[in-house]
Amino acid sequence: MNVDLNPEQEQLRDAVRALGRRYGHDYFVAKAKSGGHTTELWSEAGRLGYLGVNIPTEYGGGGGGITDLAIVCEELAAAGCPLLLLVVSPAIAATVINRHGTEAQRKRYLPGLADGSQKIVFAITEPEAGSNFHRLGTVARRDGDDWLVSGRKCYISGVDEADHVLVVARTEDSSTGKLKPALFVVPTDAPGLTRSKLDMEIVSPENQFLLYLDDVRLPADALVGESVDAGLPALFAGLNPERITVAAMGAGTGRYAIERASSYTATRTVWGGRSIGSHQGVSHPLAHAAVQVELARLMIYKAATLYDAGRDLEAGVAGNMAKYAAGEAAALAVDTAVQALGGAGMTTEYGVATLLGAVRAGRIAPVSREMILNFVAQHVLGQEKSY
């Protein structure tokens, strides 16, 4: 297996790294603490083509794959700007619409997703059902040619920044009477759609919301795909890119934390003039964290390569493993960095404690570490399903 990026991907990595460093973690934190959004960074990334690297060229994108988008996610995070909406809009929404939407939907939505002029967020999680689509309470029913959608969603990222939200609902199968998943593109200003901001202990410019859908009326073409039969494959189409890009963001965050801590420990001197990094009690934990981040990166790019090769089943296993590994590695890296910096690690100035909430959430969302272990036990180790 070739672990090297191709020349175009290396150029992309260098260019995105340079963009991220021009903004940096101070910019990211200032936006988060003021209640603002990273609009300038997002717009520039879109203008430069980085948001649409995985979107086909005929719709204004770069014609690359999830590997390219993972590079963008990782390098912006490694510069201290982990943008969650990269996962939600280009990775999930663009992939779902490109692979399973109608041609009219691709023409309508993909160009704006590619240049950053519009965002589509994703709504699956519910207060009672979590992400278990078999138990989702949000239901869509026919009303003439229209659809009426009702239900509740929670932990929905970036609704206040988006033009549309991709809602996972359940519709009745006319042949069996059973409910089956379907996806709908819902304008965020649609009558009957209201939202409530969730207060989170995470330093992020991207907010989380509860959504309430009360008989939201949608035209027939709001349904993703030609029929409700597209719902299940469309839903699964977004899961692997989600896991891969979340993992890439986590690995980038881990790299950022280790770099900040290493720079500090290499120059901080106490008790005799030697740097604190010369002591193994300081350097070994950082080295251990660096190893874990690098191992996670290898699995991330393995998963992305498999996905881009169309090997979806293998990419599903690797993507889950990558997400698990990166979530653990990022949390370890940030915690180790805080410890290495001592009191300075808890200050906003040194820029590592500001990431504690985000990396802890990365072990929970978008799928918990325990559910990934269940997946690996069942699908890799052949164990009986435990739930």
Q: Cis link prior to 366 (omega < 30° from 0)?
A: yes
Angstrom CA distances, 291 to 114, 259, 376, stand at 34, 13, 22
pLDDT at 15 over 70: yes
CA–CA distance, 115 with 62 (Å, rounded to integer) = 10
40 vs 229 pLDDT, higher one: 40
325 vs 232 pLDDT, higher one: 325
pLDDT at residue 171, rounded to an integer: 92
Cα angle 180, 157, 371; round to 5: 60
Beta strands 120-123 and 164-172, pairing class: parallel
Phi, psi at 198, each rounded to 5°: -95, 130
- pLDDT bin (cut points 50, 70, 90) of residue 130 is confident
pLDDT at 176 over 70: no
The C-alpha R_g of the chain, in whole angstroms, comes to 21
Longest dimension (CA), the chain: 81
Phi, psi at 260, each rounded to 5°: -65, -45
The string of pLDDT tens digits covering residues 46-61 is 999 999 999 999 999 9
Give the three-state DSSP class for 275: strand
Residue 129's Cβ-side half-sphere holds a number of Cα atoms within 13 Å equal to 18
- Interhelix angle 231-267/312-341, rounded to 10 degrees, is 30
CA–CA distance, 322 with 328 (Å, rounded to integer) = 10
Phi, psi at 101, each rounded to 5°: -80, 170
Angstrom CA distances, 140 to 111, 136, 166, stand at 28, 11, 13
pTM of the model: 0.96
pLDDT at residue 4, rounded to an integer: 86
Residue bearing tokens 């881009």 = 308
Q: 192: burial class by Cβ within 10 Å (0-12, 13-18, 19+)?
A: middle
Mean predicted confidence (pLDDT) in 213-233:
95
CA–CA distance, 90 with 96 (Å, rounded to integer) = 10
pLDDT at residue 273, rounded to an integer: 86
pLDDT at 19 over 70: yes
Angstrom CA distances, 163 to 112, 190, 258, 262, 310, stand at 10, 10, 36, 41, 30
The string of pLDDT tens digits covering residues 260-295 is 999 999 999 988 889 999 999 999 999 999 999 999
pLDDT at 6 over 90: yes
- pLDDT bin (cut points 50, 70, 90) of residue 103 is very high
Mean predicted confidence (pLDDT) in 212-223:
98
| Helix intervals (H) in 119-226 | none
